[in-house]
Amino acid sequence: MPPVRLLCLAVATALPAAALADQPAAEEARIERMDTVVVTGVAPSSPLTFVTDPKQPRQPVPASDAADYLKTIPGFAAIRSGGSNGDPVLRGQSGSRLSLLVNGGAMLGACPARMDAPSSYIAPQNFDALTVIKGPQTVLWGPVASAGTVLFERETERFDTPGVRAQGSALVGSFGRNEQTLDVAAGGPAAYARLNANRSEQDDYEDGDGETVPSLWRKWNADAAFGVTPDADTRIELSAGAGDGKARYAGRGMDGTRFRRESLGLRIEKQNVGGVLDAVDARAYYNHADHIMDNYGLREPDPTGPMPTAMLAAVDRRTVGARVAATFRWDATELATGVDAERSDHRNGTAMLPGMANGWDPDARFSRVGVFGEARVALSAQDRLVAGARIDRAAVADRRATVGGMDMGGDDGMGGGMDMGMDDGMAMAMPNPTAGRRREDTLTAGFLRIEHALAGTPVQVHAGVGRSERMPDYWELFSPTLGPEGAVNAFAAVRPETTTQLDLGLTYRSARAEAWVSAYAGRQDDFILFDYLAGGAMGDTTRARNVDADIRGGELGGSMRLGAAWTVDGSLAYAWAGNRDDGEALPQIPPLEARLGVAWARGPWSAGAQVRGVRAQDRVATGRGNVVGRDLGPSKGFAVTSANAAWRVDARWTLAAGIDNLFDRRYAEHLNLAGDAGFGYPAEPVRIGEPGRTLWARVDFGY
């Protein structure tokens, strides 16, 4: 690290050792107690629902994207390919089995191999609230995702009097980590304007053995909103946003040199409408992802690999949608009901070589419309019933004239069977047997949950059953080289996936302690599985097919205050999945993971430490996976220790610092794209090592 950053880090780390006794008692009392850096996760705010503030400092080093942030919550993991832009996994399920929404709208990536997963376009610190709903236990936010629903939301506080509010942070750290965020809002009772912006970068890091891992990234995001509040119950908000970035990957044959995002949104909400109609919420959104991959901007082409010369691929995806929901209240019942719709268009660029003129070939159009209703009924002082149902009419059109093109396999960043529009003899493109065809399906989903508070105790239990039907997504219909046996391609024959799941849980809250446990067991019919078959010079061949599967697992956590200053907390997460058709494990299932943390806080000072332990994973299905990656075989367990300290200087300024991987261990996650041989990794798959000892310091301010 440069000397100036080392100096900043040393000062921030040493501050807690300074004597506080010299401060006047009145000044010490004036400084509010600061929340400690979160080290293990958060407890559920209600059954299966977790709500947290993504602006709050967390250990390890503050996240670079949504996947990086989510993996700090029990039950989440991420498929790793280097320093940033991992793909989030909840309870062993990834892709569109996990729904990520931004202000109620979908921000979908474009890469056929999910190099730009939806999470890569989300900067968590630019949002006010993060809500996670585990399992198929809500129908309010589009087609029900079997793993869960994640909501990143901005909620601008109203201005009772004219004024300005500002919040921001700056971070420095090892391996060139540098980040700045700004959130400023100004307004009055009748209107407001708000700007959220962040910039983040890091160079290649070194793992615990001192080996350099290709992992550089540069990112920025900016979002602006203007709102009108004609009265205390009405808000009309127009928003716009943009972002871009680049990322070097250790586990792919190409890097991402453009992650351009454009977003527009309109929201109209009315509270306290009158009578039984309590509220109306209407939203519309537009999101555009413009993504470029190449093998020369951030690396040198590998002369021995499938792309020995400079090549690029351009893709984009435009998603538009709308949602109108009304909330009714009467007696002991609350009902939210409405309609939502969405359309998404995907295109491939025809340019393959630097300097070529780029055109666009549309290849897929997805559309759907759905209706939903979700009710909460207080049956008694201790019992509540929560239930919901929805129905969607979904369609997808195959707009590819040809298929085959350049098959680079699912691990290399370009996607199996991707039609690159090649007409120059460099690749064999064949007529598409499903050109112009349209698939339509009616998808149903619903859930029922009972919540019971044990009389006279701080304990609540819940039991729920949910069912969801999922349309195959873009990556499952258009990325595979092959479809099921006997089918002309995946588009023609891969069936929708159905999940039926039982969720059970218990929460305990008292003045000094809280604990929670949740367990699930389910059956997935027509689970969409990828087989990675032996490939030729141009990469692996992938086949998408349906199998029947069983899933089960759970999470638990708790915290306890020990005296006035100390808190101990911990969590445990476990996922298991079996392929009933083939009599083996489902691939890409994270191993058992445990976290134990201790935190100390007194006045403006706080400190904490965490031990994260991950068990070895030997239940694998080698050669099978999803569009992002495949099982590479058994993985080793590991344990990593991290520590942090913080000082709230006054009501406006806070300094925090931390050390991740304190003992500089060399370790690798089970969910991992193998290091790419073009970067000097062995030809056989070797898991990408995680960062070695990492130091960071952060300053936060609020006005």
pLDDT in tens, 60-71: 777 888 998 898
User: What CA dihedral angle connects 289, 128, 612 and 7, to 10 degrees?
Assistant: 90
> Residue 136 and residue 28: Cα distance in Å, rounded?
47
Give the DSSP letter of residue 617.
Answer: B
Looking at per-residue pLDDT, the higher value among 620 and 413 belongs to 620
Write the DSSP assignment of 289-302 as a string of letters: EEEEEESSSSS---
Q: Quick check: 118 pLDDT over 80?
A: yes
Pick the closest to residue 388 from 412, 370, 414 (CA basis). Answer: 370
Average pLDDT taken over every residue of the chain: 88
CA-closest candidate to residue 295, choices 257, 262, 241:
257
Catalogue all structural domains in the chain, each as residue range(s) with its CATH number.
3-702 (2.40.170.20)
Q: What is the pLDDT of residue 674?
A: 81
Task: Round to whole Å and give the CA distance between 620 and 587.
Answer: 6
Q: For residue 570, what is the enclosing H or E element?
A: strand 566-579
Distance CA 520, CA 146 (A): 12
The Cα–Cα gap between 152 and 52 comes to 10
Give tens-digit pLDDT for 11-29: 333 333 332 233 333 333 3
Over 60: is that where the pLDDT of 10 sits?
no
pLDDT reading at 411 higher than 70: no
CA 116 – CA 167 distance, rounded (Å): 29
Angstrom distances, CA of residue 335 to CA of 233, 385, 443, 526, 698: 19, 12, 22, 32, 43
What pLDDT score does 82 carry? 78
**What residue type is assigned to position 522 of the chain?**
G
The tokens describing 667, both together, are 């370790």
* Cα–Cα distance for residue pair 471/441, rounded to 1 Å: 8
Report cis status (omega within 30 of 0) of the bond before 60: yes
677 has a pLDDT exceeding 70: no
Read off the pLDDT band of 319 (50, 70, 90). very high
Closest residue by Cα to residue 174 from 60, 255, 285: 60
Strands 383-398 and 360-378: antiparallel
Confidence class for position 527, pLDDT limits 50, 70, 90: very high
Measured distance between the N- and C-terminal CA atoms of the chain, rounded to whole angstroms: 31
- The distance between the two most distant Cα atoms of the chain, rounded to a whole number of Å, is 80
- One-letter amino acid at 449 equals R
**Rounded mean pLDDT, 155-160:** 91
- Inter-residue contact 576 to 549 (CB < 8 Å): no
Beta strands at 191-202 and 98-102: parallel, antiparallel or unpaired = unpaired
What's the pLDDT score for residue 276? 95
Q: Residues 339, 316: contact at Cβ < 8 Å?
A: no
- Average pLDDT over every residue of 98-122: 93
Q: What is the mean pLDDT of residues 516-529?
A: 97
- Helices marked H in 356-462: none
Alpha helix segments (H runs only) across 308-434: none
Pairs from 299-303 (Cβ < 8 Å, separation ≥ 24): 299/214, 299/248, 299/255, 299/678, 299/679, 301/678, 302/253, 302/677, 302/678
H-only helix segments in 172-301: none
Separation of alpha carbons 646 and 636, rounded Å = 33
pLDDT higher than 50, residue 308: yes
> 115 — phi, psi (to 5°)?
-60, -35
What's residue 516's pLDDT?
95
Q: What is the DSSP letter of 428?
A: -
- Identify the pLDDT of residue 685: 72
For residue 4, count CB atoms less than 10 angstroms from its CB and return exposed for 0-12, middle for 13-18, buried for 19 or more.
exposed
Tell me which range, 25-34, 59-68, 428-437, is most confidently predicted by mean pLDDT.
Answer: 428-437
pLDDT digits (tens, 9 = 90+) for 77-95: 999 887 888 899 999 999 9
Q: Annotate 636-661 with b (16+ C-beta within 10 A) or e (fewer).
A: eebebebbbbbbbeeeeebbbbbbbb
Provide the residue type at 465 as one letter.
Answer: V
Q: Is 241 helix (H, G, I), strand (E, B) or coil?
A: strand
Task: Reduce the DSSP state of residue 164 to 3 states and report it.
Answer: strand
Residue 368 sits at the vertex; the CA angle it makes with 366 and 371, to the nearest 5 degrees, is 165
Task: Dihedral sign for Cα 299, 301, 305, 307, please.
Answer: positive
Q: Is it the case that residue 251 has pLDDT exceeding 90?
A: no
Q: How confident is the model at residue 306 (pLDDT cuts 50, 70, 90)?
A: confident
pLDDT of residue 386: 98
Q: Across-strand partners of 284?
A: 266, 322
Q: How far apart are CA 239 and CA 462, in angstroms?
A: 38
| pLDDT level of residue 535 (50, 70, 90 thresholds) | low
pTM of the predicted protein model: 0.90
